[in-house]
Every structure is written in structure tokens, then in C-alpha cells.
Amino acid sequence: MPIPDLDAALTGARLVEEAGALLTLGEEPERMVAHAFDRLGQLVPYDLATVLLREGDGLRVAYALGPLATPQFSEAFIPVRGNLRLQNALKARSRPATFEEDDPGEDTFHGLLEMPHGHSCLVAPLRSRGETFGLMTLDAMVCRQYPDSVLHHVGVFASLLALGLKQAEHLGRLAERERTLAEEVSYFREVQRRDVLQEPLRAESPAMRGILEQLRQVAPTAATVLITGETGTGKEKVAQTLHHLSPRREKPFIKVNCSALPATLIESELFGHVKGAFSGAASARKGRFELADGGTLFLDEIGDLPLDLQPKLLRAIQEKEIDPLGSEKSRRVDVRLVAATHADLRAAVAEGRFREDLFYRLSVFPIHLPPLRERTTDIAALAEGFLDRFARENRRPPIQLPPSVREQLEAYAWPGNVRELHNVLERAAILSAGRELRLPVGALPAQTEKASRPPTWDAQEQIYLQRLLRHTRGKITGTDGAATLANLAPSTLLSRLEKLGLRPKDFREA
């Protein structure tokens, strides 16, 4: 024969367990609370159930359910001062308190709801990490609805409700942070896209046209690319262009300068870390590999990567797996790796400063950027592109590049390459009052044997032929044509022009 008290206890435990399961499902807070209180209502009756959260010197109604839950009540603020019941409830640690019509003290919702003098009220604290952050209340229109036999189960329910509310709050913050990060990624991706579109890779010289063709060939693949060249030649711009041409263009382009990070931080920066991985690691953090997942990771100055980290990078390339610092679990990543260096990696391999196996994995598709002094036909296009962007960003009228300044720029050897060109142009653009660029005195330092390498023979010839074509406006034949002035057969001159990437038609409107 069933024992009534035991059956009631088991039923109560089952209902609270079901309600607790609903509170930890991670669904929308409103639905979570509503479903859980529906289960609780099968154990104890109520005409009004509320969740009150602390706000300043009172309590704000966060959730209200039941026949008495009007829209106005659902937005109510309840002062705590002067309400002895609420003050005592907020000091309680666990067991719910019950009140009947003959109990002293002001009713919980005095002035907000018209309740009969004879009714039941239950109040339970909501606690997290030793602090009471709110109250759960149940009200019934008749007396004696909350006997001692149900208080334990209701207390357990209140504890689970507190846990569920805090979990929902935490998940809400994470979701908001994720939305913010997604917006930031979208913004920076759009900035990168505009940078590539507004200032595309300038490819007037044969060398740069060849590089652009190489980029178009390798972009659709997942091959690792190694970009070499002197400092300031535009290796990052080439990497950005490669990313923009690839199927990964809508995914992140993440850059890491290996020479700018201390050796003690670069492992965490690349591969991330778990909470407690080292002193100061208060929370887990994704590394650049994970941030670049699906996109492109650009490792600048790869020659400065510490030797002890090179095996981890090699594994990331070969296995497409990374090991965050302090973690025992590997993580899969889908990243297109582009590396760049101004150093001689072959020499570094020979000297034992760079792993040979990593060098070969990086240089599956090598691209070498020639210095600016060896591609002077790119200088005018680079300068005009920079001046256009400078004018847009500073809300200035368009700035023209006069022929005299162009000749000065093309005659200079540019030991700092494209970076130096941009610096010179920016200063000149700031100081130029009119619509034509004027180079200030001393803008181009005097060149000495020690300061810069002499330009190659092809570079010198290129400068001469550019000036010649400007003078003749692209005309080749005739007594006033470029071939006659250069004392060359037209076919010979055209052959030289083709080799140097110079097209007479480009000078006809010069």
C-alpha cells in the first residue's frame, strides 16, 4: 500500500528535477523561466509567481507569471526600505519564508496589487557565490497553500532558478561579445577590402606584372606562399592582394609581425592559451591561427621566429592542427599561410638559425619582390595612387604629379623602397599648397656609394627611354621620333621598350 507522504515527496522531487533540467537548457531566459514555473505549478499552486532582481535600493520585477501578472506589474519597481518582509528575505540564506493573513509586516506587493486580506505568500532568496541578487515569490489568493512539506522542494527550485538565471546572464554577455566581435571582424574585413580596391597592387613594370600573374595563378589554391624582398618593397600589399584574389576573400586576413613580439609572448600570440596556462592568464584566449580560421594568416619577418617555435609552426602547416599553450587537446584550423622576410633564409638554414624542413614547407610558391630602383616604371603609378588616397582621406582637391617631380622621383634610387616613397610623398603633399605636388628642398637625400646602391644599367636605360618617350609623346618613327633622337633603328628601340615594359601609347597623352 503506498505511503502518502513518501509518494508526495517523490512527486515533488521529480517535478523539481524536471524544472531544474529546464533551467539549465540554455534557451531564451523568458521561455526557460516560464517552462520551469509551469512544472513548479504542478507541485504548489500560485496565482502570481515573480522573479525580483536587485536594482539600486529596491527590486525590479524581471519576470511575472500567472493570472495576476499584468503588463503594468511586470515593469514595477519595489522599494525595499520600510518593507520588513523583503529586508528579511534578502538576508535569508536558503529556506523560503511563508506569510499568511495574520502575519505582521507589510504585504510584499502592497500598493501594486489588490490582494485579499487572507492569502498565501512565499518568498525565497536567489543566491550566487554567496550573494543574494534577488528573490523568487509565489502568491496564492487563498490561505494555507504553502505547507512545510513543500518548502524543501521550493528551496531547491529557487537554487536551481538562481543558477539558471546566472547562466543565462553569462550566455547573454557571451552572445553580445560574439556579436560585437563579429561586427568588428566585418568592419576590419571591409576596411581591408577597400584598401585593396582603393589602392590596388601597382603593376606597370614587367616584374610587377609577372608577380600579379603569379598571384592569380596561386590564389585559387591552398599553397603556402613565401614573399621575399628588401624592407619596404610592399610585401604586405602583395599578401593582401593574394588574399583578395583567393576564395578566402570574405574570411579574415590576420597579420603577425614575428620581429615585433617578444619571444616569451609569440607562442601564445600565434597558438593561443587556456586559462591558467601561465602567470597572468586569467582567461582563455584564441591565437592568431584560430582568428584566421577559414582565411589567411600573414607572418611577416618569418626569419625572426624563435627556433624552438618552428616545429609547432611546421606542424600547424602540415597537420592543420595547433596546440594552445597549456592545453592537452589539439585544435583543427583551416588557414592559408603567407610568410614574408627580407632575410636570406637559405643562409639562415646553413647557419642553423632556421629549420630546413620549415623553409621548404614555406617556400612551396616563392615570390620575390624586386627593389623599387629596379622597377622605376612603377614609381609614377605608386605616387599617383598614394596622392589620390591622401586627397580623399584629408578632403583635399586632387593633387597632380607634374612631369618634373616625376622625373626626380624616378631618378632617385629609393633605398627604403615603397615605404620611403610614401613617406616622401606624404610630407610633400602636406607642404604643397596648390594642386600640384612640390618636393621640398632636401626631400630626396643626396645619394652616395655608402648610402645606396647605384641603379642597374636597365634602370638607367629605362629612365632615359621614359624621358625620351615623354619628349616625343610616344612617337617612334620620323625625324622627330624617339628612334631618330636615340640614334637607333625603330625595330631595335621597340625591342628595348618591350623588354623594359614601356609602351609608347602610354606616353601619347603625357
Between 87 and 9, name the one with better pLDDT. 87
Between 177 and 285, name the one with better pLDDT. 285
What is the predicted pLDDT for the residue at 469?
A: 84
Q: Which three cell numbers stand for residue 151?
A: 518548502
Confidence grade of residue 359 (pLDDT, cut at 50, 70, 90) = very high
Helix (H, G, I), strand (E, B) or coil at 93: coil
How many Cα atoms sit within 13 Å of 373 on the Cβ side? 17
User: DSSP letter string over 246-306?
Assistant: STTTTS-EEEEETTTS-HHHHHHHHH-B-TTSSTT--S-B--HHHHTTTSEEEEETGGGS-
- How many Å apart are CA 284 and CA 434, to the nearest integer? 54
| 41 burial type by CB count under 10 A (0-12 exposed, 13-18 middle, 19+ buried) | middle
Q: Which three cell numbers stand for residue 162?
A: 538562481
What is the predicted pLDDT for the residue at 456?
A: 64
- How many Å apart are CA 441 and CA 422, to the nearest integer? 17
Confidence grade of residue 363 (pLDDT, cut at 50, 70, 90) = very high
What is the predicted pLDDT for the residue at 180?
A: 63
What is the predicted pLDDT for the residue at 3?
A: 39
Look at residue 192 and tell me whether its pLDDT is greater than 60.
no
Look at residue 471 and tell me whether its pLDDT is greater than 60.
yes
What is the predicted pLDDT for the residue at 448?
A: 39
- How many Å apart are CA 485 and CA 474, to the nearest integer? 12
In percent, the amount of the chain with pLDDT more than 70 equals 84
Q: Which amino acid belongs to residue 399?
A: I
Place of cell 621614359: 466
Q: What is the dihedral of CA 209, 214, 215, 216, to 10 degrees?
A: 90
Q: Which three cell numbers stand for residue 245?
A: 584574389
Look at residue 7 and tell me whether its pLDDT is greater than 60.
no
DSSP 373: G
Look at residue 160 and tell me whether its pLDDT is greater than 50.
yes
Between 455 and 365, name the one with better pLDDT. 365
Question: What are the C-alpha distances in Å from 420 to residues 17, 90, 128, 442?
Answer: 70, 68, 59, 14
In what side-by-side order are the strands of the sheet with 58-65? 77-79, 58-65, 48-55, 131-140, 120-128, 97-99
What is the predicted pLDDT for the residue at 16?
A: 60
Mind listing the pLDDT tens digit for each residue in 335-357? 999 999 999 999 999 999 999 99
- How many Å apart are CA 335 and CA 317, to the nearest integer? 8
Confidence grade of residue 315 (pLDDT, cut at 50, 70, 90) = very high
Confidence grade of residue 22 (pLDDT, cut at 50, 70, 90) = low
Q: Are strands 225-229 and 365-369 parallel, antiparallel or unpaired?
A: parallel
Alpha helices in 55-147 (DSSP H): 84-91
Between 118 and 327, name the one with better pLDDT. 327
CB neighbours of 382 closer than 8 A, spacing ≥ 6?
A: 202, 418, 421
Between 370 and 473, name the one with better pLDDT. 370
What is the predicted pLDDT for the residue at 4?
A: 42
Look at residue 293 and tell me whether its pLDDT is greater than 80.
yes
Look at residue 449 and tell me whether its pLDDT is greater than 60.
no
Look at residue 52 and tell me whether its pLDDT is greater than 70.
yes
Select from 11, 39, 8 the least CA-distant residue to 23. Answer: 39
What is the predicted pLDDT for the residue at 243?
A: 94
Residue pair 432/423 in contact (Cβ under 8 Å)? The answer is no
* Arithmetic mean of pLDDT, 504-510: 71
What is the CA angle 445-447-450, rounded to 5? 120
Instruction: State the average pLDDT for the chain.
Output: 82
Cα 15 from chain centre: 45
Place of cell 526600505: 81
Exposure class string for 313-324: b at 16+ Cβ within 10 A, else e: bbebbeeeebbb
Mind listing the pLDDT tens digit for each residue in 252-282? 999 999 988 877 788 888 998 887 777 667 7
Look at residue 221 and tell me whether its pLDDT is greater than 90.
yes
What is the predicted pLDDT for the residue at 6?
A: 43
* Arithmetic mean of pLDDT, 157-177: 81
**Residue 84: other Cβ atoms inside 10 A:** 11
What is the predicted pLDDT for the residue at 142?
A: 84
pTM over 0.85: no
Confidence grade of residue 150 (pLDDT, cut at 50, 70, 90) = confident
Select from 268, 17, 40, 49 the least CA-distant residue to 154. Answer: 40
Residue pair 98/145 in contact (Cβ under 8 Å)? The answer is no
Mind listing the pLDDT tens digit for each residue in 376-424? 889 999 999 899 988 988 888 999 999 999 999 998 999 889 999 999 9
- How many Å apart are CA 366 and CA 421, to the nearest integer? 25
* Arithmetic mean of pLDDT, 90-112: 70
Question: What are the C-alpha distances in Å from 265 to residues 269, 273, 305, 315, 423?
Answer: 6, 11, 11, 19, 31
| 170 burial type by CB count under 10 A (0-12 exposed, 13-18 middle, 19+ buried) | exposed
Of 212-221, 231-240, 379-388, 435-444, the poorest mean pLDDT is in: 435-444
* Arithmetic mean of pLDDT, 158-177: 81
